[in-house]
A and B are shown apart, each in its own frame.
Chain A
Amino acid sequence: MNMNMNKEAYLAYVKQVTPASPLGKDLFFSFLVGGAICTVGQLFSHFYLSMNLGRDAASTATSITMIFLGAALTALNLYDDLAKVGGAGTIIPITGFANSIVSPAMEFKSEGLVLGLAAKMFVVAGPVLVYGILTSSIYGLVLLLMQRL
């Protein structure tokens, strides 16, 4: 092309003229929103512990509650509004995991309940399960070997 510029020079130029994400603002809001979601989780955890549920059961109940809240806010089309502000503060908590399951399921409902809604449900969250289970299984193998050796 007659722009007298090779690809590397062009990409460097593009980088220079493309505005960066506002890191300071993004950090502030991800901290605030992420912290707030976890504080809500802590409130539920406190409540379940006060019901004498025991540590493991209270932790499980908290996870279930947070997943329910994430799913409900997604279904009400509110979670994406929160995420616009919160960024990673809405993606990293388990509510974001629920959002990543519900949103494609809602979107692809138009392709049916089986190959649309259900098949697309884990299109974003599936990799979390895959690599979470994979790494924990490797850890289990290492643990077993260490026990036996």
Chain B
Amino acid sequence: MFLHELLPAFLTGGLICALAQILIDKTNLTPARVVVLFVSLGVALTALGLYDAVVDFGGAGATVPIVGFGYALAKGVEKGVSLYGPTGILSGGVAATAAGIAAAVVFGWLAAVLSTPTAK
């Protein structure tokens, strides 16, 4: 399990994050912009058929980074278009990521209601 799952996940995830760190440190891109860039990159790499191999190798190391969110959106759109045609363009991506988005809203709301920020 270590060699076949955990190590590839660690290496893949670490590498993606280190690439983002280079962009943050070496360019004027703010972290928020880098995240937007990476999610779009995830869609583009999936569309070009390049990201499946990364997911096959890295597992969660490829899907947990925000690039993986782009991957899920793109895969969802592929499925949507093949099942429903034109409406799938708009329904596929959000359908595939709906659970994640809803989880963010629900957990986010709960967390914010229950907790207040503190000064360090």
A binds B: yes
Indicate if the CB atoms of B69 and A137 lie closer than 8 Å.
no
Output the least CB separation between B24 and chain A (Å): 6
What is the interface size of chain B, counting residues whose CB is below 8 A from a CB of the partner? 80
> Which of chain B's residues 1-55 have a Cβ closer than 8 Å to chain A?
1, 5-6, 9-18, 20-26, 31-32, 34-36, 38-40, 42-44, 46-47
B13 partner, pick from A20, A37, A63, A121, beta carbons under 8 A: A37
* Alpha-carbon separation in the docked complex, A53 to B11 (Å): 25
Indicate if the CB atoms of B17 and A33 lie closer than 8 Å.
yes
Output the least CB separation between B80 and chain A (Å): 7
For A66, what are the chain B residues with a Cβ–Cβ distance below 8 Å? Answer: 64
**Given A128-B39, A140-B81, A106-B111 contact (CB < 8 Å):** yes
Write the B97-120 contact mask toward A (1 if CB under 8 angstroms, else 0). 001110111011111111111101
> Which of chain A's residues 51-110 have a Cβ closer than 8 Å to chain B?
59-60, 62-64, 66-68, 71-72, 74-77, 80-81, 86-89, 91-98, 100-103, 105-107, 109
* Alpha-carbon separation in the docked complex, A144 to B92 (Å): 12
**Given A63-B103, A71-B111, A147-B81, A135-B40 contact (CB < 8 Å):** yes
Extra contacts besides A106-B117, A132-B39 (14): CB < 8 Å: A31-B17, A37-B64, A39-B9, A42-B5, A60-B100, A63-B63, A75-B112, A95-B64, A97-B104, A102-B107, A124-B32, A136-B76, A140-B90, A144-B85
Binding site for B on A (CB under 8 A): 20-21, 23, 26-27, 30-39, 41-46, 59-60, 62-64, 66-68, 71-72, 74-77, 80-81, 86-89, 91-98, 100-103, 105-107, 109, 113, 117-118, 121, 124-125, 127-129, 131-133, 135-137, 139-144, 147
Binding site for A on B (CB under 8 A): 1, 5-6, 9-18, 20-26, 31-32, 34-36, 38-40, 42-44, 46-47, 58-61, 63-70, 72-74, 76-78, 80-81, 85-86, 88-90, 92-94, 99-101, 103-105, 107-118, 120
